[in-house]
Chains A and B, each alone.
Chain A
């Protein structure tokens, strides 16, 4: 399940918006010009300057900018950051995902597992009503999940539940209890019914694709125009007492992220929904603009096909991994907000991340040793969001004598084709694929690197890893989980089917003089229920 992130921000494949307006150079110009205000802030000061006061001010409208959703806003099939943000303001999940990846009860008050992690029982919060007055009950929750699990739903959630939960696995045991019966033991299952699986919103029983989105969230969707934006007003029936503080939220659409940024700088909007580290980085400390920053679990996988030359040789894959200057990548591509990757799929945020695996670093001597005098050259395929990283990789590998031919495709081409036969992102010999943050490592491991993974672009097959991945999902103790994580991470680090150079952080920019309580989220999610207008 893909969470929204940088990979979903660029909606002009092949005709990058930066072609039109010059990209970061112009951003630097804008930053240099500042906003004309006198408030100053140190570059390191990336946390909100104004926190909600003890007695939060009520009222006011938050104006936020975001790219227009590329498709109709439908909670069942949505995948872009703006649509997710709008629906998250209107509807709730059983569980919210905090920015440190802890789980916070929302429509579910509590949950517990039995049968070794194959059965999960959720207690539904009582007294909650939808914004139109319809009461929430266990049957509504069941119907919401049945809708996602329907093989005809076209929801990306089907992929998230693949192999874990299938149609018929959800039952409303009584008015306040929902039972999930899984296909296999899965100890991280609560994450799959949380915001970590962004389609898993609880909607009314009669919701049909394209219909009105009515939820139990803090706001109601008042108007929506695919060209200009959305307006949301406070939901007086919201179940969290005294929330939200705002009277409403106005989301304005900007098809270009420079326009979004200029709107923030000029005071036309108060906050961005989706900020890019590269663009807002230069604004840190400029006037009233505050850039909140959190570590994330998003990544751009440098995938190498292990079943065909030149990367059928492990030494070639390792040589490329040792040729990369990862801190350089972090600075150049992520404005330094990321964390170094170590060619496995456990971000430091994941509790089971192995700590004893040596960090891979640039080592030209090791590259020469691994290549043994052989010349290595290959084509690297990517779509526009991967362009900057591709250029950086090309330059870095050239320094150690590895030639990279760049093969840029439009996003429509790169992700087009048949995923079982020929789509470039799964069938080219080397490619860059952006993966927005996941709540649990299994959401990366299972699709990407197990032998029959649905998005196994490297065609990597390792029975030991497959077994460890299954054991990891079924593990019921931290110790057991760490043991399996060490096996998985060790295999990936050694075999290098994918190179993870940096785990991207997430930023959110807002005007600290106008609003408080806006915060970044690893998956760019929004929770404006505690935002106040100053």
Chain B
């Protein structure tokens, strides 16, 4: 395990370097001028050029990239071109918001999806299985912003049980914060539950039909005991992987939910900084998200290894 962790950790800096180069190159290739975006189309060309000089935008790309990288590595993430605020504060604050929303959604998603998957797997090919599988597929096929709009119309606009904005007022207590996050979290849970449940269901269905499960039943264990003692652990192996994938999505792929619910998360920041060619923000946000992704993938792999002795023992390629 230690060797595995060391090997994976060694790839992190190289991967992040690749990500930063890719983001930088893509931003360079996309047409548009951040100085013009900042000053607006009606500023004179001379004003735009003066701002370009001020921001150092006419320097060679490798110089600008090296300056940014050096600053990032030494903790100086620079100042947002467009918003004029320190990038580090902005990215950390937005990441915190996204982590909160993702955390709430994930806290609901994990037990619900695993539970439904287990139930469907144990009762595979029966009515409950079909309802869960078809329901999961249906909700999984509907984009979260559509589900979100329906939830908003029903619960925020018509019933007024929940606020339409996910951002609680400054200084709100935990319950108010959760109340504000309920609808966006629910739209995400509805989207992701089917995917996770399907993986758990598949593992469970195979496990309950396996020779060892049948043997256990023949030894007199009840179906419930068999599930708890033998099936559950096997089912959690695919669940770890599926939940890891969903967690990655929840952390960085929430742009539409953040926009729809007026939530200042890192997804919306990433999008806006890309549109505005705000390179210091875009690069730093991409690096932080990239690092987070790798940590999640690593966590999922570690969980996979801990849960499945065949992987630990090398019977299955890592």
B75-108 residues at the A interface, CB under 8 angstroms: 82-85, 90, 93-94
Contact A413 B31 (CB under 8 A): yes
Q: Is B225 an interface residue (CB 8 A)?
A: no
Q: Please give the distance in Å from A349's CB to the nearest CB on chain B.
A: 21
Contact A71 B82 (CB under 8 A): yes
A263 to B50, CA, bound (A): 40
Contact B84 A254 (CB under 8 A): no
Contact A416 B31 (CB under 8 A): yes
Q: Is B262 an interface residue (CB 8 A)?
A: yes
Tell me whether A416 and B145 are in contact in the complex, defined as CB-CB below 8 angstroms, given that A12-B275, A410-B275 are known contacts: no
Q: Is A357 an interface residue (CB 8 A)?
A: no
Interface-facing stretch out of B162-170, B196-204, B244-252, B286-294: B162-170
Contact B275 A256 (CB under 8 A): no
Q: Is A267 an interface residue (CB 8 A)?
A: yes
Q: Is B178 an interface residue (CB 8 A)?
A: no
Contact B149 A26 (CB under 8 A): yes
Give chain B residues whose Cβ lies under 8 Å from the Cβ of A266. Answer: 152, 156-157, 160, 163-164
A70-102 residues at the B interface, CB under 8 angstroms: 70-72, 77, 79-80
- What 4 new A-B contacts, CB under 8 Å, besides A266-B152, A419-B45? A1-B42, A36-B158, A156-B39, A410-B31
Interface-facing stretch out of B112-120, B253-261, B308-316: B253-261
Q: Is A313 an interface residue (CB 8 A)?
A: no
Contact A36 B32 (CB under 8 A): no
Q: Which residue of A lies closest to B150 (CB)?
A: A29
Contact B157 A265 (CB under 8 A): yes
Contact B42 A268 (CB under 8 A): no
Contact B276 A412 (CB under 8 A): yes
Write the residues of chain A forming the contact surface with B, with a CB cutoff of 8 angstroms: 1-2, 11-15, 17, 20-22, 26, 29-30, 33-36, 70-72, 77, 79-80, 151-156, 158-159, 210, 226-228, 252-256, 258-260, 262-263, 265-268, 409-413, 415-420, 425, 454-455
Closest 10 interchain pairs by CB? A412-B32, A72-B84, A79-B40, A227-B264, A413-B31, A256-B259, A266-B164, A154-B47, A266-B156, A20-B256
Q: Is B9 an interface residue (CB 8 A)?
A: no
A291 to B163, CA, bound (A): 22
Tell me whether A418 and B149 are in contact in the complex, defined as CB-CB below 8 angstroms, given that A210-B84, A412-B30 are known contacts: no
Contact A416 B33 (CB under 8 A): yes
Contact B145 A20 (CB under 8 A): yes
Q: Which residue of B lies closest to A229 (CB)?
A: B167
Give chain B residues whose Cβ lies under 8 Å from the Cβ of A154. Answer: 39, 43, 47, 50-51
Task: Classify chain B's interface size.
Answer: 35 or more
A34 to B154, CA, bound (A): 10
Give chain B residues whose Cβ lies under 8 Å from the Cβ of A455. Answer: 42
Q: Is B215 an interface residue (CB 8 A)?
A: no
Contact B167 A228 (CB under 8 A): yes
A210 to B84, CA, bound (A): 8
**Interface SS of chain A: helix, strand, loop or mixed?**
loop
A20 to B268, CA, bound (A): 12
A21 to B256, CA, bound (A): 8
Give chain B residues whose Cβ lies under 8 Å from the Cβ of A410. Answer: 30-32, 275
Q: Which residue of A lies closest to B32 (CB)?
A: A412
A417 to B32, CA, bound (A): 7
Give chain A residues whose Cβ lies under 8 Å from the Cβ of B271. Answer: 12, 15
Contact B157 A262 (CB under 8 A): yes
Identify A36's interface contact among B45, B82, B84, B157, CB under 8 A.
B157
Give chain A residues whose Cβ lies under 8 Å from the Cβ of B277. Answer: 412
Contact B164 A259 (CB under 8 A): yes
Give chain B residues whose Cβ lies under 8 Å from the Cβ of A159. Answer: 42-44
Give chain B residues whose Cβ lies under 8 Å from the Cβ of A2. Answer: 40-42
Contact A29 B149 (CB under 8 A): yes
Q: Is B214 an interface residue (CB 8 A)?
A: no
Give chain B residues whose Cβ lies under 8 Å from the Cβ of A13. Answer: 275
Identify B262's interface contact among A33, A259, A417, CB under 8 A.
A259
Q: Is B303 an interface residue (CB 8 A)?
A: no
Q: Please give the distance in Å from B248's CB to the nearest CB on chain A.
A: 20
Contact A20 B259 (CB under 8 A): yes
Give chain A residues whose Cβ lies under 8 Å from the Cβ of B44. Answer: 158-159, 419, 454
Contact B43 A156 (CB under 8 A): yes
Identify A21's interface contact among B153, B260, B262, CB under 8 A.
B260
Give chain A residues whose Cβ lies under 8 Å from the Cβ of B149. Answer: 21-22, 26, 29-30, 258, 262
Q: Is B37 an interface residue (CB 8 A)?
A: yes
Tell me whether A252 and B165 are in contact in the complex, defined as CB-CB below 8 angstroms, given that A21-B259, A154-B51 are known contacts: yes
Q: Is B297 an interface residue (CB 8 A)?
A: no
Contact A77 B262 (CB under 8 A): no
Give chain A residues whose Cβ lies under 8 Å from the Cβ of B90. Answer: 226-227
Identify A415's interface contact among B41, B83, B164, B269, CB under 8 A.
B41
